[in-house]
Chain A
Amino acid sequence: MRTSYYVTGSALAILFLFPLVWSGWASVRTDTGFGLENYARLFTSSNGIRAVHVLNSVVVSALTVTGTLVVATFAGYAFGRFRFLGRDLLFLLTLAILMVPYATILIALYVLLSWLGLEDSLVGLSLVLIVFQLPFSVFMMRNSFEAVPVELEESARVDGCSSVGTLVRIMLPAVRPGLVTVGLFAFLTSWSEFFAPLILLNSTDEFTAVLAVVNMRTASHGSIDYAALEAGVVFMALPCLVLFAFMQRSYVRGFTSGALKG
């Protein structure tokens, strides 16, 4: 019983880890041995990643993480602590975003953003990414704020704090785990998202790093440079793996929060 558990578990673990290990290996494997030539080609070939693509990805991620944190914190505070007209409707509407997969409304978003002068724009893309993070983030922040004891807030009020002062000085430290999880998922989504930038960004100068790497595959008419592609995979995955290593707890909290509402 015990042995079969370890044999099965280990065999499966090897199966699941193998592709990851292999891509790291393939990315440094060259004709003559090992080296960084594949990475050099990734960053220098005509349709590979350029510095501007990495910068674009960083900008989109920064805008999405900041925007999601600000909007979700305010909304979570509002839903968790106040009653106001339209409260339940807005909360339902926010959660309804989950029921409408964005692949089906991206065509309309494409038209809408061009009406707003945000076509082919990193800001437009970030706004869309923020909205699709909202159901998870607002839900998470509302629960975080609800879990903070009311007494904590009341004592601050008695001491003369305004509601903004209370939010910043008393509440934010208390909901930090929620903020970390929300920020983490906003980063992972914006860093790795492929379909939304594919639709919303047209010019190669605006491409995010993911689009640029995929472009090496889809724009190549002859043979595909697989080794440089694997270097691209490693480059894209590395920040995510590092975050996972340091923030496993937030990861698991975020992924399982969906299961708890059932």
Chain B
Amino acid sequence: MTGALYATPAAVLVGLFFVVPLLLVVWMSLHRWPLLGNPRLNAPDNYTAVVDNALVASAAWFTLRYTVLITALLFVIAFGLALLVQNRRPGVGFFRTAFFLPMTVGFASASLLFLGLLSEEIGPLPAGGDSPALGSAVLLVLWRFAGFNMLILLTGLQAIPLDVYEAARIDGASRWQVFGRITVPLMRPTIALVLTMMITGSLLAFDQFWILTRGGPDNSTTSLVMVIYREAFVRLDLGSAAGISVVLLVLLAVVSSVQFAVLRRRSA
């Protein structure tokens, strides 16, 4: 009984601010739910509207391209950094700290930092080229999150027992063979974890585009979460916003369960 008593505050908070909103967002998606005024049932209009909404389609396509781009670049860079700093030698602590330091700045602040850094007014690196809007967001995300993902990959790298490498060397395996046949397979759970975080994080992108590009030019960098915000607080249609949220939620649940499947395969 004592245990249940100690767990009560957490149970109340999780129930009220997690379980209830989770059910509520589904309930809302079945209604015409204006920001002000009474909701009324209109299922499945919000869902059919998702399919017909041109902005949703272009935002989904943009968010998907952005996710692929970020995941590929961020993974390669973070893995490279992790390999660079995996061994203890002089200066390695400084390098790790330098790569990780951007993570200490809040993401919204980091977005503002890059807004200035890439501006023509005061920036030393004014953004130009064909798609400066997307490019600047990509640079920002790589800068801020590479060190964090490096740190996670590093814990995976360091969990591989040294005698496994030793045995491979005695068998005459080349560096690339060791990397491809030992490092990567043994790090599969860590790799699945960082890939999942990168994919879900990118699918939910908001701050960077809201602050850096305002979704422009011509909505070309409007992400899905920005559309949710717009449906709710610009078009004042909470039902439609809830509909898009539920679709996104299901999509993310699929990504997470793929990660679980990968992890389970390892322990089987």
Most-contacted residue by chain B among A5, A16, A29, A262 (CB, 10 A) = A262
Residues of A within 8 A of B43 (CB): none
**Closest CB of chain B to A115's CB: distance in Å?**
10
A103 vs B200: C-alpha distance when bound (angstroms):
11
With A13-B99, A74-B9, A77-B6 in contact, is A108–B113 under 8 Å at CB?
no
Contact in complex: B13, A134 (CB < 8 Å)? yes
- Interface residues in B106-165 by Cβ distance below 8 A to A read 106-110, 112-117, 119, 121-124, 143, 146-148, 151-152, 155-156
Chain B residue, CB-CB nearest to A98: B256
CB distance from B85 to the nearest CB of A (A): 7
Number of A-B contacts (CB under 8 A): 269
- Which residues on the A side are within 8 Å of B242 (C-beta)? 107-108
A22 touches B117 (CB 8 A): yes
Which of the residues A93, A232, A244, A255 comes within 8 Å of B19, measured between beta carbons?
A: A93
- Of B51-59, B176-184, B245-253, the stretch lying at the interface with chain A is B245-253
A residues less than 8 Å from B214 (CB atoms): 218
**Considering only CB atoms and an 8 Å cut-off, how many residues of chain B contact the other chain?**
91
With A86-B4, A103-B204 known as contacts, the answer to whether A259 contacts B156 (CB < 8 A) is yes
CB pair A84–B1 under 8 Å, yes or no, is yes
Determine if A226 and B252 form an interchain contact, defined as CB atoms under 8 angstroms apart. no
Q: In the complex, how many angstroms separate the beta carbon of B3 from the nearest chain A beta carbon?
A: 2
Q: B211 touches which one: A6, A9, A104, A217 (CB < 8 A)?
A: A217
Interface of A is mostly: helix
B positions within 8 Å CB-CB of A: 1-11, 13-14, 16-22, 24-25, 28, 33, 81, 84-85, 89, 91-92, 94-95, 97-99, 101-110, 112-117, 119, 121-124, 143, 146-148, 151-152, 155-156, 189-190, 192-193, 200, 204, 206-207, 210-211, 214, 225, 228-229, 232-233, 238, 241-242, 245-246, 248-249, 252-253, 256, 263
